[in-house]
Amino acid sequence: MVAKTFQGLEDVLRDELIDLGAENVELGLRMVTFEGDNELMYRANLCCRTALRILKPIVKFTADSTDELYDQVRDLDWEQFMSVDSTFAIDSTVNSAEFTHSKFVTYRVKDGIADHFNDKYGRRPSIRLTGADVQLNVHISDNRVTISLDSSGEPLSKRGYRVEQTEAPINEVLAAGIIMKTGWRGDSDFVDPMCGSGTFLIEAALIAGNINPGIYREHFAFEKWQDFDQELFEEIYNDDSAEREFAYKIYGGDISPEAVAIARKNIKSARVEDMVELQCKSVTEWTDNSPEGIMVTNPPYGERLRPDNINLLYRSIGSTLKTYFQGWHAWIIGFKDEQFAEIGLKPSVKIPLHNGSLECSLREYVMFDGKYSDFRAEGGSVSNPDARKEQGPKKVRHISDDDWEKQAKKFNSGKGFSDDRKKKKSFNRDDRKRSYDSVPKGRYSNDDDDDFDGFQPVGRADSRQRRDGYGYERRNDRPSYGKPARQGYGRPDRKDRADSGDRKPFKKERGDDNFKRERRIQESQGYNPANSRGPRLPESSETIINPVHMRQRKGWKKREEED
């Protein structure tokens, strides 16, 4: 399985998974791979504080084109994961020279799944953009394709306790990861003097009480899977034996009364108000503090929140720390080095982190009383060697193509591929450059997909003919869109039209009466002599064949209410 996270939090997520009992845990870039059963997958979704989503790979293969991707997806035994009555959604992540557009990858995977069911049952599952029964994740690196079931659904950062938020709230997963990087586990007081909507305060309370962050969520995607074990999940969900008492206090504050009010609502929603104390005051008013503790805060960067004088704000943070937080460890996440310089303190460690699209830095400041020389003489140190070990980008092991093929073959055993599809062979198909002009008009059909405007041709020719001997046309049992095709009516090639004999050629002499008479007839039928594009079909017979626009599905709520 694969657990996704933010860059810089991979080591924290690794430790969480090991504590849950995961095996063969390996770090990657913004992810951690591990092995385990369904029980571990349930626990990872419910308990991991730094995971964004938990993916369960179902197939791995190589593909050098979107057509080959389509064929591989179509050959998979999808009945293992969904039924023809299921709804599904697809999320694609692509980093490849062969596949340049993630949305087109999504379309081709959707087509492969739909045609797999159409071939067997004459109908197909429906796309549903939100709340689908099965959510798929497609990851392509170069020509290596991994298709996974998303067991989480909505990102796990959406805990479910946030009822309101300020203008620039920090992500819950990032907040929990920062706290866990400090090493704090509820063994001292905790302070956030610029709490905003209270994310650090709530995540600190969950850590201190060892409360699972997933208990607030209404559902996970795996609850709709065919093999979902409801009894096992309810047993895991209701087990609070690991929760513990918190002997200290979590303090939060903000200069904005509105922010304090929002934080109070969120804290009450998370049911941790007995652990958190809120005050409305500026950072310079934090003068009465316990002898030691942990401060974690996220000051404004000047990007979305713009204080009147941001340099003065950082300067006041530094002076407050030096004067009133002696004996504390202060952790500050910021964006610009010049703002950190205004604090006027030497950080013991710098950890690169991403906050959204911003490349930020998490810095620790060890506060002490008196001069630094006296502090060092007494054996004190501001260094943090344990934190330094986890700095820097993670090295991702890149296996060779042959090794990846072997791993994919081993992984795919029993996944529904026939033996000849597992072997590497040349790819050939006859519709790589197909022309819609050669397809009879009456064979265009609604794609039977409420999520996409437009229509697609019924037949998708490829190198494999249908076993029933009909060759090109795969969906000849489906009703055509619009008026039924009449016998002999269609869109033959130009050569066929010329040889058919049922239409007289134009005479080129402008003065010829027959030519003028035919021109008048054609103008009355929609012919436009200004662009000389030939006669046009009436609007009732026009067919749209380019399915690029998506429209909002209507009637879900109505159908759900009826159900």
Residues of the chain whose pLDDT is less than 50?
A: 388-394, 418-510, 530-535, 541-563
DSSP string, 127-196: E-SSS-SEEEEEEEETTEEEEEEESSSS-TT--S------SSPPPHHHHHHHHHHTT-SSSSEEEESS-T
Q: What pLDDT, on a 0 to 100 scale, did the predictor assign at position 367?
A: 87
Q: What pLDDT, on a 0 to 100 scale, did the predictor assign at position 471?
A: 39
- Give dist(CA 491, CA 436) in Å, integer: 9
**pTM across the whole model:** 0.71
Q: What letter would DSSP give residue 18?
A: H
Q: What pLDDT, on a 0 to 100 scale, did the predictor assign at position 415?
A: 55
Other C-beta atoms within 10 Å of 291: how many?
9
Q: What pLDDT, on a 0 to 100 scale, did the predictor assign at position 309?
A: 81
Query: Would you say 86 and 133 are in contact if contact means Cβ atoms under 8 Å apart?
Result: yes
- H/E element, 235: helix 230-237
Q: What pLDDT, on a 0 to 100 scale, did the predictor assign at position 449?
A: 41
Helices and strands counted in the chain (H then E) = 17, 17
Here the contacts of 351-354 (C-beta below 8 Å, separation 24 or greater) are 351/8, 351/181, 351/387, 351/390, 351/391, 352/8, 352/391, 352/392, 352/393, 353/6, 353/7, 353/8, 353/9, 353/174, 353/177, 353/178, 354/6, 354/7, 354/8
Q: What pLDDT, on a 0 to 100 scale, did the predictor assign at position 214?
A: 94
Q: What pLDDT, on a 0 to 100 scale, did the predictor assign at position 130?
A: 84
Q: What pLDDT, on a 0 to 100 scale, did the predictor assign at position 197?
A: 93
SS (H, E, C) 342-372: HHCCCCCEEEEEEECCEEEEEEEEECCCCCH
Q: What pLDDT, on a 0 to 100 scale, did the predictor assign at position 50?
A: 97
Query: Would you say 150 and 45 are in contact if contact means Cβ atoms under 8 Å apart?
Result: no
Q: What pLDDT, on a 0 to 100 scale, did the predictor assign at position 180?
A: 96
Residue 6's contacts (CB-CB under 8 Å, 6 or more residues apart) are 30, 50, 52, 171, 173, 174, 177, 353, 354
Other C-beta atoms within 10 Å of 237: how many?
15
Edge-first strand listing for the sheet containing 144-150: 23-27, 31-35, 2-4, 53-62, 144-150, 134-141, 87-95, 126-127
- Give dist(CA 182, CA 10) in Å, integer: 15
